[in-house]
Amino acid sequence: MNLVDAIRRVREHDDHASLLEAIPYMRTMGIAVVEVERVGERRTLVLEMASGNDHIGNPWLPALHGGVIGAFLENAAIVQLLLDQEDSGTLPKPINVTVDYQRSGRVVATRAAARVTKLGRRVATVHASCWQDDRERPIATLAGHFLMK
Amino acid sequence: MTASAFLDYLRTFIAEPGNQSPHNRFLGLELVNIERGRAVVRVPYDARLAGNTGTGVLHGGVITTALDSACGMSVIAALGKRMQIATLDLRIDYLRPAVPGEAITAAAHCYKVTRNVCFVRAIAYHDDRDDPIANAAASFMITADKAETPRAERNA
């Protein structure tokens, strides 16, 4: 399934599993949409990355790989942006992302959610955060810009 | 330990599978070169890591991971002895899309070491360093001024 069709299925049928078919990286890393938060018209996708030894960066602590955390945040940002954008026929391209690491990631299931803070015609700004036990104590946050055309 | 003796030690240390990052092994990431303050790593193309079935282009996160790994290794190579470090922040500019089917190389340079923080620049590219896919700037905290001990040994 292509990404455009997958997003249509998410929008119209709440079929989040179709994303896994369109984005091989999500399936490979054990990432899935586990919750949809609804506040008025706003739908926020909550993603979960399963705990896995393959996600470890530092084998001594052990701790999740910083790149895996960055990738998970990027994935949360782009999936939310795909859902929020008006024209579902285009694929946003990342211009840049900044990841701030706040806490070491333990090897447990990790969640992430993103919010599109500005949806322009050409550029969108997205903020994402990921957490383990407590959403108020994120392990890392991301701010990114995406080209919409 | 002299600088070159430390680099020789690092090369031997990193070549040992038990000392490698499990996720780097999962990606097939290999160290291409390490010298004082510099590290180059390579990740082979793998369709399982694509961000979009339709195009086959690698997920941006794989480039993030390659850059983060190269940056971390360049810091270790700059410190001159084993210390514990943690990524503080990583900023990536995506300059052009990666070409499906091609391996990604990430080259990092830790250009400044201070008592607590190390600063790094890095690029990701296919074959030509002058035509990069991504440019990165990162900073790392030195979290402890000593080598880590494997958990198994700590508990022994």
Contacts of A27 in chain B (CB under 8 A): 48
Q: Which residue of A has its CA nearest to B143?
A: A104
Task: Inform me whether the C-beta atom of residue B19 falls under 8 Å from chain A C-beta atoms.
Answer: yes
The Cα of A129 is separated from the nearest Cα of chain B by a number of Å equal to 14
Q: Token digits for A127?
A: 């903020």
Region label for B113, one of left (φ > 0), alpha (ψ between -120 and 50) or beta (otherwise): beta
- pLDDT, tens digit, for every residue of A126-141? 999 999 999 999 999 9
CA-to-CA distance for A103 and A123, rounded, in angstroms? 30
pLDDT of B155 strictly over 80: no
Instruction: Give B78 or B10, the one with higher predicted confidence.
Output: B78
| Chain A residues in contact with chain B using a Cβ-Cβ cutoff of 8 Å | 1-3, 21-25, 27-28, 53-62, 65-68, 70-72, 74-75, 78, 91, 93-101, 104
Residue in B closest to A73 by C-alpha: B61
More confident residue, A136 or A59: A136
How many other CB atoms are found less than 10 A from the CB of residue A7?
A: 21
Beta strand segments in A1-149, E: 31-39, 42-49, 56-58, 63-64, 93-101, 110-119, 123-131, 140-147
Amino acid letter, residue B123: I
Cβ-based contacts of A98 with chain B (< 8 Å)? 89-92
Q: Which two tokens stand for residue B29?
A: 């990431």
Q: What is the model's pLDDT at position A5?
A: 83
> Minimal CA–CA distance to B106: which of B59, B50, B45, B43?
B43
Question: According to CATH, what is the number of the domain B3-155?
Answer: 3.10.129.10
CA distances from B110 to A145, B2, B6, B31 (A): 26, 18, 16, 16
Residue with tokens 């390490």: B34
Residue extents of the structural domains in chain B? 3-155
Fold of the domain built from segment(s) A3-147: Thiol Ester Dehydrase; Chain A (3.10.129)
For residue range B99-111, what is the model confidence (pLDDT) as tens digits?
999 999 999 999 9
- The ipTM of this complex is 0.92
- In this prediction, residue A88 carries a pLDDT of 67
Q: What digits encode the pLDDT tens for the residues B85-137?
A: 999 999 999 999 999 999 999 999 999 999 999 999 999 999 999 999 999 99
Q: How far is A121 from chain B (nearest CA, A)?
A: 19
The encoded tokens of residue B69 equal 């790994």
Indicate the pLDDT class of residue B149, thresholds 50, 70 and 90: low
Confidence at residue B80, expressed as pLDDT on a 0 to 100 scale: 86
**Kind of pairing, strands A31-39 and A42-49?**
antiparallel
Contact B82, B147 (CB under 8 A): yes
Mean pLDDT throughout B18-28? 90
Q: Is residue A13 very low, low, confident or very high in pLDDT (cuts 50, 70, 90)? A: confident
